[in-house]
Chain A
Amino acid sequence: MAGSGSAHLRNEHETLLRVENMVVEFPIGQTGDVVHAVSDVSLDLIEGETLGLVGESGCGKSTTGKAIMQVPRPTSGSVQLDDVELTTLDDDALRETRPTLQMIFQDPISALNPRRSVRDIIAEPLVIRWEEEEGRPATSLWFERFGQQLFTRVASVVVKPMRFVLPLGAIAMVLWIISEAAEERRFEDQLGWTQLPAQIIGFPVLAIGLGVLAVLALLSAIWLLLGIFVPFGVVSKVLGDISRPVGLACALFSAATWVFMVWRTWNSLTGYSAWIVRVFVIGFAVASVVWFVVALTRSSASGATSVALALASAAALQVFYISGLDGVTKLAVLIGAAIVNLIVWRIVKRQLGLRRDELRARSEPKVREMLETVGINPDNALDRKPFEFSGGQAQRLSIARALITDPKVIICDEPVSALDVSVQAQILNLLEDMKERYGLTLVFIAHDLAVVKNVSDRVAVMYLGKLCEVADPDDLYAAPAHPYSQLLLSAIPKPDPTKPAEETPNTGELPSPIDPPSGCRFRTRCPLAQDRCATEEPTMREVAPNRFVACHFPLIGSDDEGSATHAGATAAGAR
């Protein structure tokens, strides 16, 4: 019989991780049903403890683990790590907490990106950390630093609302273009019956959006003139690292070239429809500049994307420019542009590659150390891809990746369930070792009680989204207090050939989490269920020292009514 309640939680000041009244629900399928995956679960961990979380498939234990990690956030409830409430943190603050709380997954191969090398995969948490902390790559050009500070400030204020304003502004612009093209009349004249709503909603939005765009465009123009722009902007940056005057000169030259190309193209477009094409070109270019600039102030990784965008817009402009030529000139310019573009691309790649190499070199010692710690030879493994490893080895890699940021708490979501039994022992030993060595606190999720027993300091049993029992593993195994725990234990085969095989009671199947049974959720399979179990949900209470059960008629201690009723099984309460 499963229930809610937090009697089993310990003193708040002692616990490192504390989960209170967590509820996770999500809609499923097309029909609007809601899965009650986790309903009012509370857990806690003291530093250095291993909490084992057991239950059948579908009981919500994995979901609990993921909800603790906030991926995704629980529907309600509180998760406190080191006295910091995780559920209310905003995304950026949550990101700060990530190094402290890590996770290991069930399917070892699937948890590693098949297209990346082991080196990259394991270094990834570190690299993310560094990039978040440090933002852009270090630069030696003074105006870059100035621009960077300016933009970081502007961007952080501006970028968030832009997400809403830009699409609306874009739609408004499209409508404007269409109606302008359709008639020679002004936009306002075209509004007709939409005039009033548009004026109330649309124009302020449009104004804000365009205003913001205008400010950014102005700032971008300033920065542009200072030379931070592709295709030659990156060249100037690289050259600037070598020699400042050269970099500056190159930057100015690049700005001049860019302006020249834009001006030539602008002039070469004729006719009414030219404006539409112009909007397209300029819009693209401005958008890529803004994106490029904003992204560069954050990290070089997304800088690559913005570089690509800017390159694309440069290419588009070049196409426009070239198409106005003819014959042999066109051919010559085509080839020349191709060569220039190739050179620029190579330089860009090198620049980005430099950054990537730098981070790699920086992370390598730690990566090697972690690999050796988990028992993988770095020299063999670093450049391989995940599929080249066996399951056990891949799980070791996952562990290495989780440990590399020196976390305090690791959530292990069925880390050995997908492995061969002989390998399971290795991995469990490894986890024990790591725990001792690094002083970890673990949440160990599994469906196999035998595994959990050896590993945990405390065990919590879950059923269909609720907690049944929380106790010390030895106590639990010796004498389970909850009927469900007893059921789980009786299912463990005992490898003693002298003892006769016991009859395993036939217990039926897990009910659906969409429509769980009322009252105690276990009552449909519980041999001790009575009417009370259908109407009243049991809450956690202490039935023996350090033994907590959520059941009206537990196997240990007295039930609320004071009468021992576990003799005489009644199958009442079946659906």
Chain B
Amino acid sequence: MGVIRELRARPGPFVFAALVVVVVWAWFARPPVSWTFALVFLIGLLGAFLTNGRYALQRVLGVVPILLVVSFIVFSLMASLPGDPAINILGPAATPDAVERINAELGLDEPFFNRYGNWLGDAVMGDLGESVQLRETIADGVSRTLTPSLQLMAYSLILASLIAFPMGVYTAYRNGQRQDRVINAVMLGFFAVPPFVLALTFVLFLAIGGITVGDTDIGFKILPGARYVPLGESVVDHFKHMLLPALSLALGISAIFMRLLRSDMIGTLRLPFIDLARSKGVAPRRILWRHALRPSMFTLLTVMGFSIGGLIGGALITEIIFTIPGIGGYMFNGIVSRDFIVVQGGTIVIATMYILILVLVDFLYLALDPRLRTSGGSGLGGGG
């Protein structure tokens, strides 16, 4: 069919459209997070198969060894941490009999590798175990806490992109001149501030009224400094509460994005086709945004993929400061209260998502960069 051939030739728009549809649907229909994620991944997979099936298959299969290694590392770490799970559950006054009984029940007296095998087998089926302390399954706990974390990540990324793209394009255009140097310096500042310091500064100056120097107050009280309001409750409040946390994460990330975009863009702007466009009289703004931006985005895309993955579990301290019930906090509490099964489950979920995101980014490359698409054909150049 002509449609199939058309899709094969230009999968990019199709994949993009499908992704947009999924996101919009998820916004309104609110299916469980894992479903949405799985759907997005499958669409990406489909796009990749249409483009270059073999490569897609290899990439997906290549994920398995990494996941095995990760699961083993995580499991061994958790199994080796000090603290007896039975005593954690029963309390310090537990009798040896009770401890033995709990151990047998939970399968804690089996050999190490058996436990690993069991856990892995269950995890693949979706059963991540149960947290006795929190009285819920890990799966539930993860789903519960994943949503705020994902929202935080998404908002941070959007804010970061909103800052980074214009800044990156502009500084590439004005490379070496004063505007470039000033913006670079400011961005370096953002990059250098540890996110939790930035968060606290924001809280100080925007939420609790700032400092008093002499007789003057420097600061505002316009934004909330803590708490989380789910999207369902109140959209306005939700965003008000998420603004500061997202911003404190976004500024640091935007610096990295801007840097990468800028350096790639500088390279692209030197290429002859830009001069050609200019000589044809195309306006600078159009050149920058329409012609130069797309080829310059590749490094940025890769790093974006890393950022997404890194942010899911890595915004731990921000979540603590702003008391957002995200998965970082969930796992951290697990560590603190010696509830290691929580940490195990959470980590493996995050790691899986991270890896799949990286694979997705690779697939996105296929869609965006036509050079990667073909096998066969004389893409092999000179030099006998």
A182 with B383, Cβ < 8 A, contacts A33-B376, A509-B378 known: no
**A32 part of interface (Cβ distance < 8 Å):** yes
- Contact status B110-A462, CB under 8 Å: no
Contact between chains at A183 and B380 (CB < 8 Å)? no
From A35, A181, A513, residue with most partner B Cβ within 10 Å: A181
Asked whether A182 lies within 8 Å of B76 as measured between CB atoms, the reply is: yes
Per a CB cutoff under 8 Å, which of A63, A181, A191 touches B384? A63
Of the listed stretches B24-32, B112-120, B131-139, B208-216, name the one at the interface; the rest are far from the partner chain: B112-120
Using known A-B contacts A57-B383, A62-B384, determine if residue A30 contacts B55 with beta carbons closer than 8 Å. yes
Asked if B384 and A190 sit within 8 Å, CB to CB, the answer is: no
- Which partner residue on chain B sits nearest A31 by CB separation? B375
* A57 x B112 contact (CB < 8 A): no
Do B117 and A181 touch (CB < 8 A)? Answer: no
User: What is the bound-complex CA distance between A515 and B378, given in angstroms?
Assistant: 10
Does B382 have its Cβ within 8 Å of any Cβ on chain A?
Answer: yes
Min C-beta distance of B244 to chain A, whole Å: 40
Interface-centre pick from B55, B80, B381 (highest chain A CB count, 10 A): B80
A509 CA to B380 CA in the complex, in Å? Answer: 13
Whole-angstrom CA separation of A425 from B355 in the bound complex: 56
Residues of A within 8 A of B79 (CB): 178, 182-183
B111 at the interface (CB under 8 A from A): yes
Is B352 interfacial (CB 8 A cutoff)? no
Q: A31-B375, A33-B375, A190-B113 are contacts. A513–B380 as well, Cβ < 8 Å?
A: yes
In the bound complex, residues from chain A placing their C-beta under 8 Å from that of B113 are 179, 190-194
Tell yes or no: B58 within 8 A of A by CB: yes
Cβ-closest chain A residue relative to B114: A192
Given contacts A30-B54, A56-B384, A191-B113, contact A510 B378 (CB under 8 A): yes
Check A28 for interface membership: any CB of B closer than 8 A: yes
Pairwise interchain contact B55-A58, C-beta atoms closer than 8 A: no
Q: Cα distance A190–B381 when bound, in Å?
A: 56
Contact of A412 with B by CB under 8 A: no
B383 and A62 within 8 A (CB): yes
Nearest-neighbor residue (CB-CB) of B376 within chain A: A514
Residues of B within 8 A of A183 (CB): 79, 112
The minimal Cβ–Cβ distance linking A421 to chain B, given in whole angstroms, is 19
Q: What does the 1/0 interface line of A467-511 toward B look like (CB < 8 Å)?
A: 000000000000000000000000000000000000000000111
Q: How far is the CA of A125 from the CA of B380 in the complex (A)?
A: 33
A28 to B381, CA, bound (A): 13
Instruction: Decide yes or no whether A447 CB sits under 8 A from chain B.
Output: yes
Q: Which DSSP category, helix, strand, loop or mixed, fits chain A's interface? A: loop
Q: How far is the CB of A418 from chain B (nearest CB, A)?
A: 11
A58 and B111 contact, CB distance less than 8 A: no
Let me know if B91 is at the binding interface, CB within 8 A.
no
A29 to B79, CA, bound (A): 41
Are B117 and A192 touching (Cβ within 8 A)? yes
- Please tell me if B377 contacts chain A, counting CB pairs below 8 Å: yes
Q: Is the CB of B80 within 8 A of A181?
A: yes
User: Nearest chain-B residue to A60 (Cβ)?
Assistant: B384
Q: Are A61 and B384 in contact (CB under 8 A)?
A: yes
A66 to chain B, nearest CB (A): 11
Among B76, B110, B378, B380, point to the contact of A178 (Cβ < 8 A).
Answer: B76
With beta carbons under 8 angstroms apart, the residue of A62, A194, A447, A515 that contacts B376 is: A515
Chain A 1-49 residues near chain B, CB threshold 8 A? 28-33, 35
Could you tell me the distance between the alpha carbons of A56 and B384 in the complex, rounded to whole angstroms?
7
In the complex, A471→B95 CA distance in Å? 96
CA–CA, A515 and B380, complex, Å: 12
Residue B52 is within 8 A (CB to CB) of chain A in the complex: yes
Instruction: Give B68-111 as 1s and 0s: 1 = Cβ < 8 Å from A's Cβ atoms.
Output: 00000000100110000000000000000000000000000011
**B380 to chain A: which residues have CB within 8 Å?**
28, 35, 58, 512-514
Interface size classification for chain B: 20 to 34
**Alpha-carbon distance A511/B377, docked complex (angstroms):** 8
Asked if A286 is at the interface of the complex by the 8 Å CB criterion, the answer is no
Cα distance A31–B80 when bound, in Å? 42
Cβ proximity bits B177-197 to A, threshold 8 Å, 1 near / 0 not? 000000000000000000000
- Greatest chain B CB density within 10 A among A55, A58, A182, A510 is at A182
Closest to A189 in B: B111
**A188-205 contact mask (Cβ, 8 Å, vs B): 1 or 0:** 011111100000000000
Q: Name the residue of chain A whose CB is nearest to the CB of B53.
A: A31
**Cβ-defined contact, B80 with A182, below 8 A:** yes
CB-based nearest B residue for A174: B76
- Give the number of residues in A that approach B within 8 Å (Cβ atoms): 38
Q: How far is the CA of A61 from the CA of B382 in the complex (A)?
A: 11
B111 engages A462 (CB within 8 Å):
no
Cβ-defined contact, A57 with B381, below 8 A: yes
**CB contact under 8 A between A192 and B111, given known A512-B376, A514-B376:** yes
Question: Complex: how many Å from CA A190 to CA B79?
Answer: 12
Q: In the complex, which of the residues B55, B79, B112, B117 has the most CB atoms of chain A within 10 Å of its own CB atom?
A: B112
A216 adjacent to chain B (CB < 8 Å): no
Which residue from B55, B110, B377, B384 sits with its C-beta under 8 Å from A57? B384
Chain A's closest residue to B58 (CB) is: A30
Q: Which residues of A contact B117 (CB under 8 A)?
A: 192-193
If A58-B380, A60-B384 touch, whether A178 touches B80 (CB-CB below 8 Å) is: yes
**What residues of A have a CB within 8 angstroms of the CB of B376 in the complex?**
33, 512, 514-515
A61 to B111, CA, bound (A): 60
Complex Cα distance A189/B382, Å?
61
Rounded to whole angstroms, the CA-CA distance of A427 and B265 in the bound complex is: 40
Residue pair A31, B384 in contact (C-beta under 8 Å): no
Q: Tell me whether A59 is interfacial, beta carbon within 8 Å.
A: yes
Q: Pick the contact of A191 from B54, B58, B76, B111 — CB < 8 Å?
A: B111
Q: Is the CB of B375 within 8 A of A29?
A: yes
Would you call A193 and B384 a contact (CB within 8 A)? no
Q: Which residues of A contact B52 (CB under 8 A)?
A: 30-31
Contacts of A62 in B (CB 8 A): 383-384
Contact with A along B34-63 (1 / 0, CB 8 A): 000000000000000000101100100000
**Docked pose: A511 CA to B114 CA in angstroms:** 56
List residues of chain A with CB within 8 A of the CB of B58.
30
Q: A192-B114, A192-B117 are in contact. Are A55 and B384 (CB under 8 A)?
A: yes
For residues 112 through 152 of chain B, which have their beta carbon under 8 Å from a beta carbon of chain A?
112-115, 117
Instruction: Provide the bound-state CA to CA distance between A491 and B376, in Å.
Output: 28
- The answer to whether B55 and A447 have CB atoms under 8 Å apart is no
Q: Given the complex of chains A and B, what is the CA–CA distance between A57 and B378 in angstroms?
A: 12
Residues of chain B within 8 A of A192, CB atoms compared: 110-115, 117
Chain B CB within 10 Å, residue with most, of A29, A58, A194, A510: A29
B311-359 at interface with A (beta carbon < 8 Å): none
Q: Report the minimal beta-carbon distance from A321 to chain B, rounded to whole angstroms.
A: 27
**Given known A-B contacts A29-B375, A181-B80, A58 and B384 have beta carbons under 8 A apart:** yes
Q: By the criterion CB–CB under 8 Å, are B375 and A58 in contact?
A: no
Closest CB in chain A relative to B335 CB, distance in Å: 17
B355 to chain A, nearest CB (A): 18
Whether the Cβ atoms of A31 and B111 lie closer than 8 Å is: no
Smallest distance from the beta carbon of A433 to chain B beta carbons, Å? Answer: 27
| Given A182-B79, A512-B377, also A31-B382 (CB < 8 A) | no
The 8 nearest A-B residue pairs measured at CB: A57-B382, A192-B114, A192-B111, A190-B112, A31-B375, A192-B113, A61-B384, A182-B79
16 contacts between A and B (CB under 8 A): A30-B52, A30-B58, A58-B382, A58-B383, A62-B383, A179-B113, A181-B80, A182-B112, A189-B111, A190-B112, A191-B111, A192-B112, A193-B113, A447-B384, A511-B378, A514-B376
Interface contacts beyond A30-B54, A31-B54, A55-B384: sample of 11 additional A-B pairs, CB < 8 Å, sorted by A: A28-B380, A31-B52, A60-B384, A63-B384, A106-B383, A179-B112, A182-B80, A183-B112, A190-B113, A192-B114, A510-B378
Identify the B interface with A (CB < 8 A): 52, 54-55, 58, 76, 79-80, 110-115, 117, 375-378, 380-384
